[in-house]
Every structure is written in C-alpha cells, then in structure tokens.
Structure 1
Amino acid sequence: MTYQIRIPKVVQKQLQKLKEPTRQRILDSLRQMQEQPRFGNAIKMKNSEGYRLRVGDYRVLYDIDDAAQVVTIRRVAHRRDVYRAP
C-alpha cells in the first residue's frame, strides 16, 4: 500500500532554502512516508487533523488522506518557526 506524496510549490521553496544535508534527510523521510505515513516519531497534532514529523531540528507538518492514499505536506520549517503563521 503505497501513498502518493504531494508537495505544494510553497513547500518546495521551503525545501530549496535548506542546506543540502538537511534537505536530503527530510526527502529520505518523505520517501519512507510513502510506505508508512505514520512511521517513526510521527505524532498526531493536537487541535488539528494533521501530523508532525521530527527530522533533527526541523519539523514536517502534513495531512493524511487514507481513502485516497495521499499525504500532503503542509510545511517544512525549523522547530522554532514551524508553528508560527507563515
């Protein structure tokens, strides 16, 4: 059961701003998410339908649509900034 990963343009820009090693770690995590979107230290967020994945000092916020088997990445940012309004 493979999930499709959707990365909107705004998130692609966030990823491009990161240093290469950090970007690679996040992309590796997204590849793992295709097989199991709730893997590792993914945590259901309070007061939200979304999930949070910790990758070092960075956080990936995403939503899962199990019926359509789609994971939509909402935001990638440093932990100090990720929960603030963009």
Structure 2
Amino acid sequence: MYTYVFAPSALKELKKLSTDIRKRIITKLDHYTSSENPLLFADALVNHEIGSYRFRVGDYRIIFDREDEVIVVLAVGHRRDIYK
C-alpha cells in the first residue's frame, strides 16, 4: 500500500486553499494511495522539471514524484497556475 508525504512548499500551497478544496484533495489522495497502483489514476508529465506525474481533482492538480511506495507531493494548485 502506498503512502503520501507533502514537500514543505506543497504543504504551504495546500494551506492557502479553502477548507473544502483541501478536504477534497486529501480525500482523493487517500483514495488513490489506498489502491493497488495509484499511477493508474495519474498522468505522466512531459515537463519533468516540476514533477513526474499529476493527479486531477476537479480544477486542481497535484504534482508528484514516486519513490518506491511513497507519493511525494511537490505542488498543489489550480490548473491555470500550477504549470507556470
């Protein structure tokens, strides 16, 4: 089973979001990491400078890397801002 951790910058970005968006993101992360292979829910990123994969949660994106069975969340934000 996978687990997830937030990079300090991602945690800072998460705290800036509204409470209901935060809950949706955490709920989705829990759902994805409880599955056998969370990468089935992810899309690979072309630009690997910001991360290797992304999850989509409505209009928000979770950018992450995978280290063994740990999802390292690198960035969280609205889709219009996250890739800049």
Please tell me the TM-score bracket, short chain as reference: 0.7 to 0.9
Q: How does 1:1-86 map to 2 (within 5 A)?
A: 2-36=1-35, 37-40=38-41, 42-48=42-48, 50-65=52-67, 68-84=68-84
**Number of aligned pairs?**
80
**TM-score, normalization: structure 2?**
0.83
| C-alpha distance after superposition, 1:29-68 (max 9, x if no partner) | 111232232243x211124261111111111001112xx3
Q: Distance in 1 between matches of 2:47 and 2:75?
A: 17
RMSD: 1.5
Segments of structure 1 that go 5 or more residues without pairing to the other structure are: none
**TM-score, normalization: structure 1?**
0.81
Structure 1 moving runs of 4+ over 6 Å: none
Q: Percent identity?
A: 35
More helix by share: 2
